Amino acid sequence: MDTRTNDSIEDLIRRLRCIEGKSEGIYLSLGATFPRLSAEADRSSAEARHAIGKVAAVRARRGQRLELEEFLASSSKVIDVLAVRDSRFLGSVDEGVRRLSGLDGIIKRVRADSEEMELISLNAMTVALKSGNAGRAFSIITDELKRLSGRTIQVTVDIEYKGANLLDSFRQLKAMLERMTAARDLFFGGVRSTLGGGFERLGSDIDSVMTEFGELTEKAEAVKAPITGIMQSMQWQDIIRQSLDHVVISLGESAQEAGTSLVDDLAFTAATLKLSGELVEDIEKKVHESACSLENDVERLVGVVESLERERAEFVGQFSAGGGERATERDDSAAYLSGKGKTVSYALALSERVETLNDEFKALATILVRFKNIVVASRIETARSRGLLRKSNTVYAMERLTERIEMDIGEATTLTRSFIKSAKAEIDGYACDREAADRALGMVLPRIEETFLHLKDSQEQACAAVASFRLYTDDFITVVAEARKGVAELRFIDSELHAMRSELAAIERAHVVEIEAVGGVDLSDYSIKSERLKSMIDRFTIFTHKEAAGKVGHFDVETGVDTGVTLF
């Protein structure tokens, strides 16, 4: 055998030893991967169930739910009492607005009558002045009448102005009450739906989470089948290692000269090269099958993991994005309390201003007495003076206007006193009720705030527990990646063996040509010395390889083999 062929064989042996070491390392690594995958799968399952337990722990106990229902019921009673008080006071303020609006019409009539009285007094004064001495006394009376009419007009203007301001103030009070009650309704009206409904929704969300995560956890068990498949693939390691040893043995023998004839040595080398090529082809097939099987199991494993991780991430994302309504900080109670305080203070100040309206009507009553006196004096004066007899109609008109003014002032005074009495009583009563209401609220509001915080905390715990849920640990994902890497390395060895088989075939063909050139021998008709080949295959541990060697050397291999020999 020439030096070049021998060098090629030595290079092949070196590379085969390298492949043997690499393949053994890959299979050992994959073999170590199996228990790690199994352990991490179990740990993943345990951690997933622990996460489900954390979600379940957020659910309120039955006793807590009953306590919440009792608290909400008692709170509703307090709220209902406040609503009745606020509604009653709002009704009284609304009635006050109605009464003040009616008073405005009466004052306008008094003012109109006073203006008419002023015109009558001017006409009477003109007649008195024309009557000379006879009308001197009457002119003094009409002058006083004119002055009183002017005074009445001024008082009514003041009352109109103050009444309008008072009416506007009561309307403002009404608006404040309406805003306050709206804030109350916004807060207390949402307490039951937000707290009771919030815990109910939280419970429903948790049920949904536990169902979904329970199903995902069960599906996650599907990784165990491909993990078992990976382990079963480890049986190839020993067979491939032994097969590589057989190739090395065969190539090692082919490189040695037996000292017989040159043709016999060349023929033996050709036979061992042919056998080595067949063995390498068999090894390539086994590595390929092993890599395909491993790749199939690993990709099944990856497919399960990625599919379930997408389901998990989608569900977690939906839950975190608003799978359930989240409780938020509420300041409506503060708005209600602040509005109530401002309303009471404003109402008390308004109560003081109501009293001033009564003083204005007292001034009108005093003027009315003077009107009556002047009318009497006018009647006497016209009766005494014949020159003034024709002014009796004027005096009659004065009497009629005075009576009308008296009636209007009386009605207005009665209305005002009634209004003042009821308005002041309602305002003072509402102010007194505020202390009792504040005490009741002082007991309810902190508990409501505490329950809101508890709900919010529970929701945040649920969100955190859901967000932390993992089907597989990070280490499990790492080990899966390592298994994938091992498959890729096996694929590389597969390609190396394929290239090596091609090289062996080329060396064999070149060697056959050399034999035919040197000895003029056709190997198809040449019988090699089988004893040397038989001695070589006695070192083989795989029966099929012995059979392959027998076919190459044209001898039969006994079916009975030594103990410990691998049958394949």
Q: Are 176 and 342 in contact (CB under 8 A)?
A: yes
Reduced to 3 states, what is the DSSP secondary structure of residue 542? Answer: strand
124: CB partners within 8 A, 6+ apart:
138, 142, 145, 378, 391, 394, 398
Q: Give the range among 178-182, 261-265, 346-350, 469-473 with minimum mean pLDDT.
A: 261-265
CA–CA separation, 278 and 182 (whole Å)? 93
Work out the number of other CB atoms within 10 angstroms of the CB of residue 498.
Answer: 14
Give the tens place of pLDDT for each residue, 148-177.
888 888 888 888 888 888 888 888 888 888
- Under a CB-based contact definition with an 8 Å cutoff, are residues 528 and 268 in contact? yes
Question: What gap in Å lies between CA 141 and CA 161, rounded to an integer?
Answer: 30
Average pLDDT rounded to a whole number, residues 84-89: 82
Top CATH class, 77-189+335-455:
mainly alpha
Tell whether the model's pLDDT for residue 382 goes beyond 60: yes
Distance CA 188, CA 330 (A): 11
Q: Which amino acid is at 11?
A: D
Contact assessment for residue 430 and residue 347, using Cβ atoms and an 8 Å cutoff: yes
- Give tens-digit pLDDT for 444-477: 777 777 777 777 887 788 888 788 778 888 888 8
The whole-angstrom separation of Cα 250 and Cα 109 is: 135
- The per-residue pLDDT for range 23-55, each reduced to its tens digit, is 888 888 877 877 887 888 888 888 888 877 877
Q: Which residue has the higher pLDDT, 261 or 463?
A: 463
pLDDT at 524 over 60: no
What is 466-515 written as a DSSP string? HHT--SS-HHHHHHHHHHHHHHHHHHHHHHHHHHHHHHHHHHHHHHHHHH
Q: Which residue ranges make up each domain of the chain?
A: 3-59+218-323+477-553, 77-189+335-455
| Tens-digit pLDDT profile for residues 473-517 | 888 888 888 888 888 888 899 899 999 889 888 888 877 777 666
Note whether 546 and 41 are within 8 A (CB).
no
Q: Which residue has the tokens 């190539």?
A: 251
Confidence (pLDDT) at 561: 42
Q: pLDDT (tens digit, 9 = 90+) per residue, 531-560?
A: 777 878 888 888 888 888 777 767 777 664
